[in-house]
Chain A
């Protein structure tokens, strides 16, 4: 199996387009997932009976194969980017919801009580005390969801989308390994870079975890 380097330089433009399209699908899904899972997680954290239901439901959704999710969406949104993004969002939801609920659980009761004792209103407590303290666990979820989405985009190649995944179909149909190798390497690189950036974002957002061991906040 040989790599044709000339093919790569000849198709630099196409590869850039595919990479950007790949990234766009994955990031849109993670952002949508965050927007949907945050309120749901707060709800699941506050209302005990809802918690089991929401987490159970998201676990069931997670067991549905990705190709099946894309295909099942075809009658709704057809062979479009929308189908790809909805499918990916469903997967990110599972990880994000679970981690956000666990993150809120990890907030020390004393911190919450102190905020209440100081007369902070519930919404403000949530935004300025609970969510920041839950951030390390939430960010762990965001990292997993991002890496997973970037890898899953290529499954959408079966429904005519798939960003870099199109290179796999292309290489397969023409019995030509170069695009496949390039596609796998670029997907791994995207995931690696995105993960590193998220680590950096978390480092900037949570200055208080740097001085001591992250778990020292536990009472």
Chain B
């Protein structure tokens, strides 16, 4: 056990491990690139949907069930399925990651919108604001902390799951996990796993810190 941790330590700090196309630097960049692209695509789909459901109050049933369905969908199965249907490309990875990210964004955006005090909305309408103005100038700003939480949760989930890109022969930090498993090299597997975990935890802490700074005047977080 002790030997293993020592090997893991030297694997993580050795300089040849950090440079070149199979180096940690490059794999980390790939990993973040996949995660960001997937989260942005998911946000483009999920944000309008969450805002629409929250603003109109219609389709709440859909929002709740979408979250439940998203949790039940096995990501590995989805990746393999799209892979077999569409062939070797990044599409299966993005489909699975986007599907994973959408429920968090929709449900949190919707929750943020419903948490807006109805009296505030009434006051805005009483002042003569139109539906769109209420949405853009009252509801969205008030719902912003929860919308941000949804985006953060989605990004963290995606970062954690982007390991799967390596399963269908692409890069990212998952490369070490799957190469290590194939080569029965436990140190490499553990190294990859530790890196993914550290990236996810650091991103989560940084983004929740940012949220706290941005919304420090608000009571609801």
Contacts and interface: CB of A to CB of B under 8 A. Distances in A.
B203 to A, nearest CB: 8
B77 A66 contact: no
Given A150-B72, A165-B74, A68 B196 contact: yes
Interface in B158-187: 159-161, 163-164, 167, 174, 177-178, 181, 186
B4 interface: yes
B177 A184 contact: no
A64 B72 contact: no
B71 interface: yes
Q: Which of A151, A154, A195 has the most CB of B within 10 A?
A: A151
B68 A195 contact: yes
A184 B81 contact: yes
Contact of B193 (A71, A176, A180, A195): A71
A165 B79 CA distance: 12
A66 B160 CA distance: 8
Q: Which of B68, B80, B181, B200 has the most CB of A within 10 A?
A: B80
Contacts of A15: none
A104 to B, nearest CB: 21
A4 to B, nearest CB: 13
A38 B170 CA distance: 42
Interface in B37-53: none
A74 B186 contact: yes
B68 A71 contact: no
Interface residues of A, number: 41
A147 B83 contact: no
- Tell me if A's interface is mostly helix, strand, loop or mixed: helix
A163 to B, nearest CB: 10
Given A151-B73, A151-B74, A195-B68, A64 B197 contact: yes
A154 B81 CA distance: 14
A65 B163 contact: yes
Given A65-B193, A68-B193, A187-B77, A192 B84 contact: no
A1 B201 contact: no
B71 A184 contact: no
B204 interface: yes
B201 A154 contact: no
B77 A165 contact: yes
A132 interface: no
B163 A157 contact: no
Contacts of B197: 63-65, 68, 72
A72 B193 CA distance: 7
Contacts of A167: 77
Q: Which of A63, A157, A165 has the most CB of B within 10 A?
A: A63
Contacts of B76: 154-155, 157, 165, 168
Contacts of B161: 65
Interface of A: 1, 59-60, 63-69, 71-72, 74-75, 144, 147-148, 150-151, 154-155, 157-158, 164-165, 167-168, 171-172, 175-177, 180-181, 183-184, 187-188, 191-192, 195
24 contacts: A59-B204, A64-B160, A68-B160, A69-B193, A72-B193, A147-B72, A151-B71, A151-B73, A154-B76, A154-B77, A155-B76, A165-B77, A168-B74, A168-B80, A171-B84, A175-B84, A177-B81, A180-B80, A180-B84, A184-B73, A184-B81, A188-B69, A195-B68, A195-B72
Please list the 3 inter-chain residue pairs (A to B) with the smallest Cβ-Cβ separation, ordered nearest first: A65-B160, A191-B72, A68-B193
Given A63-B156, A151-B74, A157-B76, 6 more contacts: A63-B197, A63-B200, A67-B193, A147-B72, A158-B181, A187-B72
